[in-house]
Amino acid sequence: MSWPEFNSWLQEGARVIITIAQALAILLGAWLLLRVLRIIVRRICDSYHLPAQVAVSARRLLGVLVYMSAFMLALGRLGVSGSVLWTALTGFTAVAAVAFFAAWSVLSNIFCSVLILTTRPFRVHDHIEVLENGDKPGLRGRVIDINLLYTTLLEEDALRGDTVLQIPNSQFFQRTTRRWRSGSPPAASAPE
């Protein structure tokens, strides 16, 4: 390796090291700034006798703001464009919001099934009725299965034969449920 090649290689390495050192200096400066800001917040909260929760919330908010700003500055110093990061972050957030909204009913039913299995408002083989309103009869039958999305009821109706109802688990937390623990429920009145 000739001296000019070595010299250019050394200069390029020094440039990379200086850039990394600047990014680390930004992060160190953010840490020091946050320490000072936390002391100021503590003194303000002590002098005005504010609740501890106010101090904790203020410190967390300042921490997020300072570290996010420092992270963006450090990445900018390393050559990453802030607008590209911002575009990627907002795009990801929008996609996540749409996906969460689209899957909300499924997630709600899964969460409600966990609640049903842990709180046990009814069990398999119980006779239940999910009431609509005070003047309307509800969905009733014997519980034959509880899975992540639905609770399956065997509807024992002499007019139609035995039918199966699949009720979304979230419905049990939106309506009143009547349960008969032992034996069969009283016969339902015939529809008019």
CATH number of the domain within which 153 lies: 2.30.30.60
Domain-terminating residue out of 79, 100, 116: 79
pLDDT of residue 102: 82
Q: Which residues of the chain have pLDDT under 70?
A: 134-135, 157-161, 182-184, 186-192
Residue with tokens 């106010």: 54
Same domain, 73 and 7: yes
For residues 75 and 118, membership in a common domain is answered with no
The residue from 62, 79, 96 where one domain ends is 79
Is 61 within a domain?
yes
Q: CA-CA distance, 97 to 69, in Å (whole number)?
A: 24
Residue 163 belongs to a domain? yes
Residues 6+ apart with CB under 8 A from 121: 172, 177, 179
pTM above 0.85, yes or no: no
Question: Do the domain assignments include residue 75?
Answer: yes
| Residues 112 and 170 sit within 8 Å (Cβ to Cβ) | yes
User: Which pLDDT does position 156 carry in this prediction?
Assistant: 76
Largest Cα–Cα distance of the chain, in whole Å? 102
If one counts the domains in the chain, the total is 2
- Within a domain: residue 93? no
Residue 103: inside a domain, yes or no? no
**Which domain range does residue 147 map to?**
108-180
Predicted confidence at residue 8, as pLDDT, reads: 85
pLDDT of residue 29: 98
Q: In a 3-state reduction of DSSP, which class is residue 142?
A: strand
Question: Given this model, what pLDDT does residue 192 score?
Answer: 45
